Amino acid sequence: MKQLTQIGATTQEAISLALQKLGKTREQVDVEVLQEGKKGFLGFGARSAEVRVTVKEEQVQPAIDVVQVAEQKHSAKELSFKATDLDDVETVSSQVSEQTMGIEAVQQVIVEESTEEEENSANPIEEAKAYLVNIAEQLDIQDLEIDTAREGKYVLFQLKSEKAALLIGKRGQTLNSLQQLTQLVLNKSAKQFLMVKLDVENYRERRQEALEQLADRMADKALRLNQRVAFEPMQSYERKIIHNQLANRLDIETYSEGTEPNRYLVIEPVK
Per-residue pLDDT tens over the stretch 93-109: 454 455 545 555 545 64
pLDDT of residue 163 exceeding 80: yes
* Mean predicted confidence (pLDDT) in 99-128: 60
Average pLDDT of the chain is 80
pLDDT at 144: 95
Q: Which residue has the higher pLDDT, 207 or 67?
A: 207
Between 58 and 114, name the one with better pLDDT. Answer: 58
Q: What was the pLDDT predicted at 83?
A: 43
- Calculate mean pLDDT across residues 117-138: 82
pTM above the 0.75 mark? no
Predicted local distance difference test score (pLDDT) of residue 164: 92
Q: Is the pLDDT of residue 65 over 90?
A: no
Q: How confident is the model at residue 129 (pLDDT cuts 50, 70, 90)?
A: very high
pLDDT confidence band for 76 (50 / 70 / 90): very low
Can you give the three-state secondary structure of the chain, one letter per residue?
Answer: CCEEEEEECCHHHHHHHHHHHHCCCHHHEEEEEEECCECCECCECCECEEEEEEECCCCCCCHHHHHHHHHHHCCHHHCCCCCCCHHHHHHCCCCCHHHHHHHHHHHHHHHHHHHHHHHHCCCHHHHHHHHHHHHHHHCCCCCCEEEEEEECCEEEEEEECCCHHHHHCHHHHHHHHHHHHHHHHHHHHCCCCCEEEEEECCHHHHHHHHHHHHHHHHHHHHHHHCCCEECCCCCHHHHHHHHHHCCCCCCEEEEEECCCCCCEEEEEECC
Chain centroid to Cα 101, Å, comes to: 38
